[in-house]
Amino acid sequence: MPWGAGAYVTAIALIVGYVCWLRLVEILPAHVASLSTLAVPATAMASSALLLGEPLGPRELAALGLMLGALAMVLVVPALLQRRRIAPD
């Protein structure tokens, strides 16, 4: 069983992950694509809660809120500021 898990991680998870990452970097600028790494812990928390029945406590929800707040500061706020600069008076 450990060999099967190692083969899965090597053959499936890493290869698919790298193919997705390289495609994402082709589509988006690198600084925007790198923000997608913040989604990994959120996906892990959600999938562990759904698949394994692990509880989402206040600590996990606070971490998720902080991560979403960081994404908003990096993506939403600069876009709003740029829209405000471009908009005619």
pLDDT for position 58: 94
Q: Where do the domains of the chain lie?
A: 2-86
C-alpha to C-alpha distance for 32 and 24, rounded to whole angstroms? 9
Taking residues 28-44, what's their average pLDDT?
80
- pLDDT at res. 79: 79
pLDDT tens digits for 40-86?
888 888 888 888 888 989 998 998 899 888 888 887 887 788 888 87
Answering whether pTM is above 0.75, one says no
Alpha carbons within 13 A on the beta-carbon side of 53: 0
Distance CA 83, CA 24 (A): 25
